[in-house]
Amino acid sequence: MNRAIRILRDEHRSLSAVLHGLRHLAKASQDAHARPRFEVFRAMIRYIDEFPERLHHPKEDAYLFERLAARAPETAALIEALRAEHLESAQRVRRLERALDEYERCWPLWSGPFVSVVEDYAEFHRRHMQREELELLPAAERALTAEDWRAIEAAFAGNEDPIADLREQDLAQLYTRIVSMAPAPIGVGARWDKAPG
């Protein structure tokens, strides 16, 4: 497996970890007698919004999809569908944010709708990543040349984008904050029944 593919797969794992945490805590909040710390949900949703938008999708859209479309026209329909899902993903995050606002305003009511919007988003993204890993990346491995991969890896390393490193650091900090705030088994934060308001 080349470095560019490893980076994309690693990014999928990071996003999956936060999605798993969000699903777990959303469900747990239905049984809890304590008020959830809504800022944990907010930080997770911010990560789910910014990680793909700022770090991950640009790598796919601008570099990998672009080159693959040129080398393997038979992948055009797949690439078009994945690009459309990138746009849809941003709209779905807005739905998540609205559901969280409602939940916070109406707690302890409205946990059911929040959980179902979370489940919906997680399933949408799981299917998207699975399609990339099972269809797109194998097609790219077959069609792209060593020269293509060198160019893609250089672009992924941020050589053409001076603020890529800053974005990466920002998101790493946000990830650390999520882990420090979320209660076990997701993170190391205080339990919600002991947390303030």
**Residue 159, φ and ψ in degrees, nearest 5:** -65, -25
- Least separation in angstroms between residue 168's CB and Fe ion is 16
Which residue from 82, 39, 80 is spatially nearest to 57, judged by alpha carbons?
82
Q: 188 by DSSP, 3-state: which?
A: coil
Distance CA(81)–CA(114), nearest Å, equals 27
183 strand-pairing partners: 189
Cβ proximity to Fe ion, 132 vs 148, nearer residue: 132
| Binding site residues, Fe ion, CB under 5 A | 60, 132
Cβ proximity to Fe ion, 60 vs 148, nearer residue: 60
Cβ proximity to Fe ion, 55 vs 157, nearer residue: 55
Q: Are 82 and 132 in contact (CB under 8 A)?
A: yes
Q: 144 by DSSP, 3-state: which?
A: coil
- Least separation in angstroms between residue 89's CB and Fe ion is 8
- Least separation in angstroms between residue 34's CB and Fe ion is 36
Q: Are 21 and 47 in contact (CB under 8 A)?
A: no
Cβ proximity to Fe ion, 58 vs 187, nearer residue: 58
Cβ proximity to Fe ion, 53 vs 104, nearer residue: 53
- Least separation in angstroms between residue 118's CB and Fe ion is 20
- Least separation in angstroms between residue 128's CB and Fe ion is 6
**79-90 as b/e: b if 16+ CB within 10 A:** beebeebbeebe
